[in-house]
Amino acid sequence: MAASADLSQSSPTPNGIPSSDTANDAMDPFHACSILKQLKTMYDEGQLTDIVVEVDHGKTFSCHRNVLAAISPYFRSMFTSGLTESTQKEVRIVGVEAESMDLVLNYAYTSRVILTEANVQALFTAASIFQIPSIQDQCAKYMISHLEPQNSIGVFIFADHYGHQELGDRSKEYIRKKFLCVTKEQEFLELTKDQLISILDSDDLNVDREEHVYESIIRWFEHEQNEREMYLPEIFAKCIRFPLLEDTFIDFWMYDHTANRWISKPSLLRARIGCKLVYCCGKMYAIGGRVYEGDGRNSLKSVECYDSRENCWRTVCAMPVAMEFHNAVEYKEKIYVLQGEFFLFYEPQKDYWGFLTPMTVPRIQGLAAVYNDSIYYIAGTCGNHQRMFTVEAYDIELNKWTRKKDFPCDESINPYLKLVLFQNKLHLFVRATQVTVEEHVFRTSRKNSLYQYDDITDQWMKIYETPDRLWDLGRHFECAVAKLYPQCLQKVL
């Protein structure tokens, strides 16, 4: 009976193998490599390939759909989404070089890739198209290990274009470390404004003098002056530590016409962009403006006063509201400041700010001038960013605004306006851009015109226009009325 019981416990299963309650997970460590090796052999010999990939210059590759789909989400989507390409025997890829495609396929079938300085960026681009981050990371590591002053800017721009975080951070770190060498390279001049700021706005910048930073900005600016002039205030505010500059870099100057020279003056207590300068009661006032601090842009309430006798700036009473798109004028020893829905006045003798009746059509970035005991406010931008050419006059004694006839201007000519008072008349200097079509060719011309306002008829009259192609001031210019000293003139033509 005992023997019978033993036989029943070890009775064979139908296939002849004794049953057991334990299972072993057997794995061949060489299986994956063997599969890859066999797939590579079939790829090399063109066996069982079911798709032809054509890249730039007509180069074709016979491949296996499943291999491409396994390595690349791009191809997986192409072959499984039901699009036309999913049933085609041949697909064409635009923007991929033949060598890069060959390297991608070699990686797909072998997990290996050979990188050189000549192929690394093109391969990175192909991997970006095919969404293969493992190849991108290998390319990034290669470029990081081969950074030099001559190529670091190019690598940084490349990384910024493709949004590769590690490559961008490491190349930027290298640029800051080798800054003085890198800024001598031609590629430094090709940086965008935001790329330049991202490099310079750091305490890790390896310079022994702040003047080096200033000089690099000027070199970058001079490469494309017309296009980059508008960016200088923001770049200076974010990237230059003004207290560390030598005295020779002071940014407040006075022109001495008798000696035809500029005389340096003390700098503002606080560097600011877009402040308005007004002369009142024998002193110069710098009002409002903006700074770039912390995470962003901040408008200023602060006001500084320059006393020429003491040759220094001091802080006076701040405005009740911050302003950066304002205008300021002086009338009878008071300062008037306008911006949108706010209209303020300042009494220097009392160091006091007060509110006045705002204009009927609130605008910013307009033009202001005192004329016939009134403050004229011309043009500007409304809250919806619409540009207007409205004219209003504020009677200072009556504290009342009156609408005048709009300035006759077509917004399509993209005008730039400057307002001056000359010979007791309001004048508007207008730079206009006109686009015409001649024989299917677009031609751009720019004209500078001078308009005069007649307050009796409430009309603007054009009194002068420069001939075509005589000269162009660009978009950023100022107009001033002053005496002319012939001995200070220099021959420019």
Q: Tens of pLDDT along 387-416? A: 888 999 999 999 999 999 888 876 666 677
Grouping H, G, I as helix, E, B as strand and the rest as coil, residue 75 is helix
Which pLDDT belongs to residue 166? 93
Tokens representing residue 128 in the block: 């970006």
**How confident is the model at residue 309, as a pLDDT?**
83
**Angle between helix 193-200 and helix 165-177 axes, rounded to 10 deg:** 60
First to last CA, the chain: 128
Helices (H), ranges, 267-326: none
Handedness of CA 178, 180, 186, 188 (dihedral sign): positive
Residues in the chain: 493
Determine the Cα–Cα distance for residues 428 and 454; give it in Å rounded to an integer: 12
d(CA 223, CA 440): 32
Residues of the chain where predicted confidence (pLDDT) is lower than 70 = 1-23, 28, 242-243, 245-260, 293-296, 410-414, 433-445, 468-477, 482-493
pLDDT tens track for 102-151: 999 989 888 888 899 999 999 999 999 889 999 999 999 999 999 999 99
- Rg value, the chain, Cα: 36
* Helix extents (H) in 163-209: 165-177, 179-182, 193-200
Residue 53 identity (one-letter amino acid):
V
Token pair in block for residue 107:
């990686």
Give the residue carrying structure tokens 């603007």. Answer: 460
Confidence at residue 493, expressed as pLDDT on a 0 to 100 scale: 41
β-sheet with 334-339: strand ranges across: 327-331, 334-339, 342-347, 352-355
d(C-alpha 195, C-alpha 352), whole Å: 43
- Half-sphere CA count of 387, side-chain side, radius 13 A: 11
pLDDT at position 250 is: 47
Q: List Cβ neighbours of 294 (8 Å cut-off, separation of 6 or more).
A: none
pLDDT of 3: 44
